[in-house]
Amino acid sequence: MTFVLLAALCSVLVSVLLKLAPRLRFDIGQAVAWNYVAAGGLALLLLGPAPAALRDPATPWLALAALGVLLPTIFLALGASVRHAGIVRTDAAQRLSLLVPLLAAFTLFGETPAPLKLAGCALGLVALACMVQRPGRAPTPGAGWRYPLLVFAGFGVIDVLFKRVAAAGIPLGTALTATFALALVVAFVIQFARRARFTPRSALAGLLLGLLNFGNILFYLRAHRALSQQPSLVFASMNLGVVVLGALIGIVVFRETLGRTATIGLLLALAAIALLTRG
């Protein structure tokens, strides 16, 4: 379970670093771009990608290209969500994004839903509706709910695309390295388009962000390898751990206030994840 805890910690620390961007005076857009330098380099070194696998005619280049665009843009939405809606809401929305591929499987691909999964999906949607209630100090109208919804939908679509790539037989290390490389190009194009002035502070923050981002992936994979006979335990522990740890840090460290409705939503999110795991 040590790997699960480390993976959850890395995931929450990504949100913490984004939350601290104004205090540490780094630009989130630049940090997201540099993040893919670190994450891509680590994937290249540690995950053993096989570029030859991408020469296969069945390689889903459309899905890979979509991931290359979505990864940096949703990362920017994640940063905006942490800033406007807080760590608690953002981490819950990100973990509830597992509903998107499940709903797609039921509605688009003809999978027969188990009762517990149906209950979990319904509960998760109610939880999301409660969690995205606008916080009282949202800087702009709609900011409190718009960004968490983008995080929810974006990470859900990313999950569907990664499943599409995996179904094509592309090894995980190869798929991650390729998408990180594409995301790096897209992220820097975005920064050049906005005429960003690159600073060492933002670059260092981005490299740390990439280390945490990759650490989350690596430790999650190691957890699945260490507990190969208990994948549902890893899945549940990771998702519940991120929501609980994010809530504790958001409330205790950053003094985020939830209100009654959002608190109910947080509890419903935990229950939904538990039901989906059992289902």
What band does 277 get if pLDDT is binned at 50, 70 and 90?
confident
Residue 206: is its pLDDT beyond 60?
yes
pLDDT of residue 143: 60
What is the arithmetic mean of pLDDT over 234-262? 89
- The number of domains in the chain is 1
Those residues whose C-beta lies under 8 Å from the C-beta of residue 122, and which sit 6 or more positions away, are none
pTM: 0.90
Residue 168 CA neighbour count, 13 Å, CB half: 21
What is the arithmetic mean of pLDDT over 76-102? 91
What band does 11 get if pLDDT is binned at 50, 70 and 90?
very high
Average pLDDT, the chain: 88
What is the arithmetic mean of pLDDT over 260-271? 90
Provide the residue range defining the domain that includes 201: 2-278
Those residues whose C-beta lies under 8 Å from the C-beta of residue 211, and which sit 6 or more positions away, are 38, 39, 42
Both tokens of 16, joined, read 């913490």
pLDDT of residue 134: 58
